[in-house]
Amino acid sequence: MHKVIKAFGIQLLALLILAVAIYGLQFLVEPPYPWLAIALMQGVLAALLTCKLGLPCWWRWIQFLIPLGFYGAFSLQVSPWLGLAAFIMLWLVFSNVSKERVPLYLTNATTRHALKALIKRRKAVNFMDLGCGLGGNVVFMSQLVNVRSSVGVETAPLPFAIAKLFTWLRGGRVQAQNLWNVDLSDYDLVYAFLSSEPMPRLWQKVVEEMRPGTLFVSNSFAVPGVEPSEVWELSDSRKTRLYIYTL
């Protein structure tokens, strides 16, 4: 959340600079001034300040668009309640971004069949999906004959609700639980499709809790400084890579 607060502070600083500039401009060019031009200047100032004041540079695009978004909303007379509803919906889906720096990534069918191939020769597999999203993996794995239990954890409210309903109808089990509180010692295959941010800490947890011979699979994000046992590049459109670590 500190980045969000810093971004807000940068917008306020840009607004202050813009106000001073407009105050001086009135002695050269008679007001009023076009609101669109003011919004563009606010966005450009905020974007320029973003990198200079310590935010990642990709934030400059967000900072540039925020004033234009306000201008568009006022011009179109968008109800503030619509904005509030959009914010609540985004929070319900992406609340993990602010807490864990993990967005909502969905596993595709090609990856699920790769997981099926990975456990083909194993018997009585206990499967865990850390951050299961809408629960598709949990349901798919629960229907395999050699999977004894298929469990997922998810804390984002709306994806969890969907996953809970999906698994209730089709199989598997989903828990509203933080992945850091899951005991991994009971699972033979632990799967994660998270982001690069939690991988070092997650690997430490995996090493401490998982049993020898079990598998940890990370979709797209390798563990920094740790050589995977195998890397599978899949034939889907995004060329998904599965980093497979045998404990």
**The pLDDT of residue 101:** 61
Co-location of 13 and 60 in the same domain: yes
Co-location of 242 and 128 in the same domain: yes
Q: Is residue 31 part of a domain?
A: yes
**The pLDDT of residue 32:** 85
CB 242 within 8 A of CB 234: yes
Q: Is residue 87 part of a domain?
A: no
pTM: 0.72
Domain end point (choices 78, 95, 124): 78
Q: Is residue 131 part of a domain?
A: yes
- Per-10-residue mean pLDDT for the chain, 247 residues long? 83 93 86 89 93 83 90 85 78 63 79 94 92 94 95 91 94 93 95 91 96 96 95 91 96
Q: Is residue 83 part of a domain?
A: no
Q: How far apart are CA 101 and CA 192, in angstroms?
A: 14
Tokens of 128: 């865990």
Q: Which domain holds residue 121?
A: 109-246
Q: Is residue 16 part of a domain?
A: yes
**The pLDDT of residue 97:** 59
Co-location of 126 and 237 in the same domain: yes
Q: Is residue 89 part of a domain?
A: no
**The pLDDT of residue 94:** 67
**The pLDDT of residue 19:** 92
Number of domains in the chain: 2
Domain containing 122 — which CATH number? 3.40.50.150
| CA proximity to 113, closest of 238, 213, 236 | 236
